[in-house]
Amino acid sequence: MSTTTDLIERQKLAVPRGIATKNVYAIRAENAELWDAEGKRYIDFAAGIAVVNTGHRHPDVMAAVARQAEAFTHTCFHVAPYESYIHLAERLNAITPGDFPKKTMFVTTGAEAVENSVKIARRATGRSAVIAFGGAFHGRTMMGMALTGKVAPYKKGFGPFPAEVYHAPFPKTYHGIDTAAAIEALRQLFLTDVDPARTAAIIVEPVQGEGGFYIAPPEFLREVRAICDAHGILMIADEIQTGIARTGTMFAIEHAGVVPDLVTMAKGLGGGFPLAALTGRAEIMDAADPGGLGGTYGGSPIGIAAASAVLDVIEREELCERASAIGARMLQRLEEMARRNSLSCIGEVRGLGAMVAVEFVKDRQTRVPDAALTAAIISKAQEKGLILLSCGVDANIIRILTPLTIPFEQLEEGLDIFEATLSEVAATSQAAA
């Protein structure tokens, strides 16, 4: 068995340095626990970036995949289609927001789902422009990078990007951008940069993922919907990180009571197996000619089987409700930490369901981001057996994405490690100042 040190050196020689990783080489995982090459145990507060919402290796998901593997693993849906693809499409058509006919297509990654949402929106409207938001993350493909509102590391040095993509500010109340300011900036964009009559779609994350877990206020999403309606623009909800029960509802946009025209999803949908989907109004989804959509691996039978099991688990184990309970407990503990004078480095705690973040600052008055402290906390927590992730354009936010099936005692164990780590790193930082 290779050691972590060996694997680090082998990775340096074999894998491009642009693929950033942690030095936790997994050999086994179960629900919310993971073991590395030395057999060290970790509490997983990342869930594969919100992929294993149903936990690592959920028995029902694994059983569904095993059954499918006994039948067939690949035919290509274009060559020999299968009933399970149709059945899962029917289920997603039923559970996505909106009481109107819908259709669903499957691909392999979230970036592909986003790409296809833009393709379809352009074809359906006959327009070319697309509006996204500052801080957004929509993938690492060329269109995905164009839509992404975060330069380093995702866009740096990779241009030029596809044309006709524009960015507006996303509401960040902690940083002084409220709904009124964000909507006014969007209106100004229409006056100075792009004609709304030439705009095919506005794509928005109900909660920004890589951007920092900033939650779109319900009134902001309702205003965006109204603007889209007024100008014949399609509204795309990117639910790749926020969807599949993560925020306490199946899709985060449900909290605002807003119905988008198209919904992208991936990550938690496949329960650890590659699968992404795009669901939308039937007449919009039908805009492309036969052959204009698809892909060799789109809607893999294995991923489809896993996703059907995931939806069953969410319903049977009431994971939407459990996400709310997990999030409430996390917010309570983190807000208690924030009230301690010794932890004035905590600028804000925020969350929606089990999508929770802590923003770290050098000073609560100026709110200057503290990326160095954030990195130190993540590193020290890893030493103590807790996996954490950062996010935000200033890399000063820690996001917490536990599996929704995490036992509550392990949730508390992870939060205890986080609190101990934060206290230790904050004290060291203050002593050095």
What was the pLDDT predicted at 264? 98
pLDDT tens-digit map of 353-388 = 999 999 999 999 999 999 999 999 999 999 999 999
Q: Return the closest-CA partner of residue 135 out of 211, 204, 213, 215.
A: 211
What was the pLDDT predicted at 187? 97
pLDDT score of 412 more than 90: yes
pLDDT tens-digit map of 100-111 = 999 999 999 999
What was the pLDDT predicted at 288? 97
Separation CA 198–CA 326 (nearest Å): 43
Mean pLDDT of the chain: 97
CB 319 within 8 A of CB 50: no
pLDDT score of 261 more than 80: yes
Q: Residue 428: which pLDDT band, with cuts at 50, 70 and 90?
A: confident
Which whole-number Å values give the CA distances from 331 to 122, 252, 353, 355, 357, in the listed order? 40, 18, 9, 10, 9
| Structural domains of the chain ordered from first start | 4-57+318-432 (3.90.1150.10), 59-316 (3.40.640.10)
Q: Residue 72: which pLDDT band, with cuts at 50, 70 and 90?
A: very high
Tokens of 201: 């779609």
Residue 324 C-beta-side C-alpha neighbours within 13 Å: 9
Separation CA 422–CA 9 (nearest Å): 30
pLDDT score of 92 more than 90: yes
Helix then strand then coil, % of the chain, to nearest 5 = 45, 20, 40
pLDDT score of 433 more than 80: no
Q: Residue 184: which pLDDT band, with cuts at 50, 70 and 90?
A: very high
Which whole-number Å values give the CA distances from 412 to 30, 45, 107, 203, 366, in the listed order? 17, 11, 37, 36, 32
Q: Is the backbone peptide bond immediately before 369 cis, with ω within 30 degrees of 0? A: no
* % of the chain at pLDDT higher than 70: 100
For the chain, the farthest-separated pair of C-alpha atoms sits apart, in whole angstroms, at 66
Among positive and negative, which fits the CA dihedral 196, 199, 200, 203? Answer: negative
Which residues face 106 on adjacent strands? 277
What mean pLDDT is predicted for residues 153-179? 96
Q: Return the closest-CA partner of residue 159 out of 167, 151, 169.
A: 151
pLDDT score of 431 more than 90: no
What was the pLDDT predicted at 341? 80
What mean pLDDT is predicted for residues 120-148? 98
Q: Residue 1: which pLDDT band, with cuts at 50, 70 and 90?
A: confident
Which residues face 44 on adjacent strands? 387
CB 419 within 8 A of CB 431: no
CB 360 within 8 A of CB 377: yes
Residue 182 C-beta-side C-alpha neighbours within 13 Å: 26
What was the pLDDT predicted at 382? 98
What was the pLDDT predicted at 394? 96
